[in-house]
Structure 1
Amino acid sequence: MTFLMRLFGGRKAGTINASRIERVTSSRSKEDFARPVRSQVYREVTVHLESGYSRKGIVLDYSDNGLRIRFPTNETMPRFLKVSAASIGMDGRAQLVWQKGSEVGLKLI
């Protein structure tokens, strides 16, 4: 018992003021954090780099302003590239937003 008192202390946890919690959570509206609706697909895409090199990948999901692509290998992508995904009706320039392993997130510009 002495060991537990040293480890966790002898104080009891204080009570939480419920009015404080409601005030904090009500100050954030869900509209502030709303993301565009994404369509889940599994379609082929071709990405053309400025150097002339092109790579094929798979579109995992997309929205009106961006898409997420998975490639078969982990290669670093440049900041700007051209996307051709005729099966979902997307064709144009895109900007790299994030890259994690073989997946990239692109914003259409």
Structure 2
Amino acid sequence: MSILTRLLGHRKTETVTPSRIEDVTSSRRSEGYARPLRAQVYREATVTLESGYTRKGIVLDYSESGLRIRFPNNETMPRQLSVNARSVGISGRAQVVWQKGSEVGLKLI
């Protein structure tokens, strides 16, 4: 054991403190911050860009303020677009809030 101690040194125990992000999210929960309820669905939607180009995707979940759509490929979306998801009762202008791979988070305008 002494050879390993000389080679690797003494093992120090560290205390892990929560990050600032964890502090913010936990404080939001304590303040009564609640995420809007989201309905889990798997319905078709069409997105139309300002140029007139349309893309079809699948609505994974939605709320009264926005929705999450998955597309078949990873094309970058512009900041604003029109969304038509009549099967879930959503139609109108939307703003791209986040995009990760082929999934896009939209906020209804």
Shared fold (TM-score greater than 0.5)?
yes
DSSP 3-state at the match of 1:28: helix
Higher-Rg member (1/2): 1
For 1:54 and 1:10, the matched residues in 2 are separated by 58
Partner letter of residue 71 of structure 1?
F
TM-score, normalisation: structure 1: 0.77
1:30 equivalent in alignment to 2:29:
yes
DSSP 3-state at the match of 2:27: coil
* Consecutive unaligned residues in structure 1, runs of 5 or more: 17-24
Aligned residues: 99
- Superposed CA deviations along residues 61-89 of structure 1, whole A, max 9, x for unmatched, are 01111110001111111000001111111
Percent of paired sites with the same residue: 66
Structural RMSD (CA): 2.5
Partner letter of residue 9 of structure 1?
H
TM-score, normalisation: structure 2: 0.77
1:81 equivalent in alignment to 2:81:
yes
